[in-house]
Amino acid sequence: MMEKLHRVVITGLGAITPIGNDLESYLKGLQSGQNGVDQITLFDASSHACRFAAEVKSFDPTGKLEPKESKRWDRFSKFGVIAAKEALNHSGLIIDNSNSGRIGVIIGSGVGGLLTMETQAHVLENKGASRVSPFTVPMMIPNMATGLAAIALGAKGPSSAVSTACAAGSNAIGDAFRLLQLGKADAMVCGGAEASITPLGVAGFASAKALSFRNDDPSTASRPFDSQRDGFVIGEGAGVLILETLDHALKRDATIHAEIIGYGTTCDAHHITSPTPGGVGGAEAMKLALIDGQINPEEVDYINAHGTSTPANDSNETSAIKAALGNHAYQVPTSSTKSMTGHLLGGSGGIEAVACALAIKHEIIPPTINYSNPDPNCDLDYVPNKAREKKLGVVLSNSFGFGGHNVCLAFRQMI
């Protein structure tokens, strides 16, 4: 007979984002509707079709990472480890020899160390094979945010990395949730990290016509669900959560910020980049999350949408929400924090899960900024331009990725 599943709660949060380099500043950014999009400064983008992005501003790892580490780690790993350290500190959980084998790490990344790959490819071409850094491979592989976080924290339990494009961070959280439900660990460090604002990253997405080209007014470029949207804005950063079994959290008298109750994941099996028309796969992921959490559609109080600001995603996600929630969809505030942070690709599920936990704790729904032109195909309540105070019971977070990956996570106020 299958043992009863453990309840799983969120006890720690960490974030480094385009609207705040730590949890407190990220919360303030969400509450105020801060815009994190501006001209690219990480490289000379003057010859690019898209010349703006949502960068992490004034990033300085001094005091958070050893100088030697900063030189030997890719930017995405730095983001992931710094967010993981903040989350662990926020949780008050101490990892030592008595518990390290029961604490694991799963941090997703869609691309991994793209900057390292580009830099070392340039070295290879211009200086020769002998000049390529011996740290090239460990710097660029997408599992290294997980590996380095585990080393930094001393976590020796279940460890893996997820690379399901823009669903990676949410898949990582969902997979960690499952391990805890099954009793395979007592606590998990999980989320997503990405740093793909590079010449190749921006050029590649631009060539695929996935990005906005609003170079004359980048601050309004990320405009999910707006009829004038023309593509997403690439972002960077990391969001990490500390999940624990309820019993473990209660035993150490931890502060509980929210409970994670459901995880649904599907694949469109349709196209390498485009979602299935009508959002069928996304709807099924949402339904599975509701079933998993044993909650009815009418209990959902808020949805943090994938909301990329691309024509196809936003209309299909709107259809998916309607298919999953029925008429209740029109009663549910649905916002896209990507309007503020841009799209962090594999890191987006991490910072958006953090946003959901903060929304529950602080009883405030982040807005969809830059929303001014309603789209007949997107006719839900998108919380336009200003945060909204509301006590939240059940919250959903959607993440959809290239390759057809769909994920929905369900959170609940602790009861």
d(CA 208, CA 211): 8
Question: Around Cβ 404, how many Cβ atoms within 10 Å?
Answer: 22
Token pair 């290879």 is found at 124
d(CA 80, CA 16): 8
d(CA 379, CA 366): 18
Helices (DSSP H) in 20-127: which residue ranges?
23-32, 67-72, 75-91, 114-127
- Find out whether 193 and 105 touch, Cβ atoms under 8 Å: no
Judge whether 166 counts as a catalytic residue. yes
- Find out whether 223 and 68 touch, Cβ atoms under 8 Å: no
Q: How far is CA 291 from the centre of its chain?
A: 23
Residue (of 191, 185, 183, 225) closest to 100 by Cα position? 185
Strands (E), 18-66: 38-39, 52-53
d(CA 87, CA 101): 19
Token pair 């390498």 is found at 272
Cα angle: 209, vertex 191, 218; to 5 degrees:
35
Which string of DSSP letters, residue by residue, matches 335-361? E-THHHH-B-GGGHHHHHHHHHHHHHH
What is the bridge-based pairing of β-strands 300-304 and 394-401?
A: parallel
Residue (of 245, 240, 100, 252) closest to 181 by Cα position? 245
Which of the following is catalytic: 50, 166, 190, 408? 166
Residue (of 207, 209, 237) closest to 340 by Cα position? 237
d(CA 212, CA 50): 7
385 beta partners: none
What is the bridge-based pairing of β-strands 300-304 and 364-365?
A: unpaired
- Which residues are part of the catalytic machinery? 166
